[in-house]
Amino acid sequence: MVSGAQKTRDSAGAGKGAERSRTAVGAYLVFTAFLSGAVVMVIELLGSRVIGPPFGVSLFVWTSLITVALVSLALGYWFGGKLADRRSSCGFLFAIILLAGAFVLSIPFMKGVVIGKAVYLGLRAGSLASSALLFGPPLFLLGMVSPYTVKLYMREGMGVGRTVGWLYAVSTFGSVTGTVLTGFLLIPNLGVNNIIYLSAFVLFGVSAAYWAFFTRKPLAVAFMALPAAFFFIPEELPSVTRPDGTSVSVVMSKDSPYGQIKVVDYSYGETRYREFLLENIIQGAIDVPTGLPISKYTYYAEQLAMTYGPGSERALVIGLGSGILPKRFGQYGISTDVVEIDREVIETAEQYFSFEPEKHRIFVQDGRYFLKSPGEDYDIIFLDAFSGDTPPSHLVSVESFGLMKKRLSDGGVLLINFIGESRTGSHDVPSMLQSTLKRVFSHVDVYASSGYFSDTPQVVNLLFAAYDGERELAGGFVPENAFPPFVEDLQGLYSRRISLEGSGLLFTDDYNPIDFYDLKTRERFRESMISSTDSAVFIH
């Protein structure tokens, strides 16, 4: 017979075991809340990298992403709370997390189809639809985790307010951790798709670990093999052949802290062109056999530099792009310094566009920061730090132009390449830019690419030349080694000096609404790039 004392000890032991089990489950729920919060922010940040290349990274893209995230999470909180009251079990919670991982895992495979269809809705509706279809389901499911963990974590004697506050604090701290890791570590080192696979692996893993350790189902760990397998599958770069026989190949694609960089080759017979793309916006292009630029604005800048700054010895280029202009300046004996915020841009220009870093002083930093630092003066400053979607407002202000003027030598000239519209479109922002420059410089001349005089709306390059003092301009200079099909256009540049109406609005550090006023032009620019680029290239 078992004595009463023995029964009491057994009962106490069983009670302690149950208590330890509840404590372990509670700790695991806290850990789950942390990881779920981290993955939520990873998805939100990666959203701009998934839909950014085709739709841009402008205001309406971020609006779409934030809207979808907030709506999805709100619905998840509401539905998760209702479901937790009906089916309050850990097994059901981790099934939800596993399903969220499956949706996350599907993003790289779904994005081509989703974006390919959504792009025809326009940039605003298309970005919203893409965000909703790709990120809405996993964020909705992850939104259910918070109310579920609160319901399951509640203990006797522990107040609701304390429980909710503790778990939401843990989830938020997880979001902070996910944000920091994604922005500072994961994107520069893993790339977007691998981060998505890692996120899916985390969600699969947290579910599998629960079933393996708390329900004694070790085979559940096999779930983790699915997302893990994709880390070892090499990613193929897209290549297509157009109906006319032109071969289009992405020869390099990588994610940097500042955007997606691609190098695309176009081949037809003996003709071979190469483009440098940042977020699918062309930053430079060359004819591969000759190495000559096939971006007209590069020649425009070269022409104006030689016209407004004859005999120049030192130049500063803010925004390297494909590295063509410093090389072109070098043929005139001009020593050129380069300021480029993205080290990956420099490496790409060197590897694929024959840029020679050893021939230049290169400063890997923000242009405004460089200008504020003491340094040498320059005869020419060329500002081309525009990606096409988001004009850098801190470089386009009275104060910034004042810093540039201080770094110009006597008789120096500031040249700016800017995206505008033809004469039938809006000139609000170019006029504001001209007025802002005139607050700092006594003279501002504006030149346009040939498409400016078209009767149909077009996106064109506008070149600004800002300088002080009167000077004789010997117009007519055309580089001897220019791309032959461009020579006639280059000869006509000096006849395309245009007049813009003055604007009462100036861009300053305190008030700079350039993003707002330039939104439609940038949107049209993005649409023109999409319409002229093969879908396999801009969706990749």
Which residues of the chain have a pLDDT value below 70?
1-21, 57-58, 155-159, 387-390, 540
Which distant-in-sequence residues (6+ apart) come within 8 Å of 349 by Cβ? 276, 284, 320, 321, 322, 323, 355
Q: Are residues 60 and 187 in the same domain?
A: yes
Q: What angle do CA 446, 385, 476 make, to 5 degrees?
A: 35
Q: Which of 229, 340, 335 is nearest to 284 (CA)?
A: 340
Q: Per residue in 248-289, pLDDT tens?
A: 999 999 888 888 899 999 999 889 999 999 888 888 999 999
Q: What secondary structure does DSSP assign to 367-392, as a single string?
A: HHHHHHS----EEEEEE----SSS--
421 shares a domain with 336: yes
Same-domain status, 415 and 310: yes
What CATH number has the domain bearing residue 369? Answer: 3.40.50.150
- Tens-digit pLDDT profile for residues 45-103: 999 888 887 777 667 788 899 999 999 999 999 999 999 888 878 889 999 999 999 99
Q: Is residue 282 part of a domain?
A: no
- Same domain flag for 188 and 305: no
**In a shared domain, residues 25 and 169:** yes
Q: Does the residue 424 lie in any domain? A: yes
22 and 145 in one domain? Answer: yes
The last residue of one of the domains, among 189, 211, 232, is: 232
How much of the chain is helix, strand and coil, in % rounded to 5? Answer: 60, 15, 25
Residues 216 and 311 in one domain: no
Query: Has residue 264 been placed in a domain?
Result: no
As for how many domains the chain has, the answer is 2
Q: Which domain holds residue 421?
A: 296-539
Phi, psi of 341 (to 5 degrees): -75, -20
Question: CA torsion sign, 212 to 217 to 223 to 229?
Answer: positive
Tell me, what's the pLDDT at 387? Answer: 61
Q: Is residue 207 part of a domain?
A: yes
pLDDT for position 274: 96
Name the residue with tokens 């220009």. 349
* pLDDT value of position 11: 47
Quick check: 333 and 312 in contact, CB under 8 A? Answer: no
> Is 275 within the bounds of a domain?
no
The pLDDT value given to residue 465: 97
CATH number where 168 lies = 1.20.1250
311 and 224 in a single domain? The answer is no
Residue 248 maps to a domain: no
Amino acid identity, position 450: S
SS3 140: helix
327 within a domain of the structure (yes/no): yes
CA dihedral 506, 507, 508, 510 (to 10 degrees): 100
Indicate whether 283 belongs to any domain: no
Same domain, 213 and 86: yes
The domain boundary, picked from 194, 217, 232, lies at 232
Out of 232, 259, 278, a domain closes at 232
The number of CA neighbours under 13 Å toward the Cβ of 327 is 19
Same domain, residue pair 202 and 333: no
Number of H helices, E strands in the chain: 19, 14
Between CA 247 and CA 102 the distance in angstroms is 35
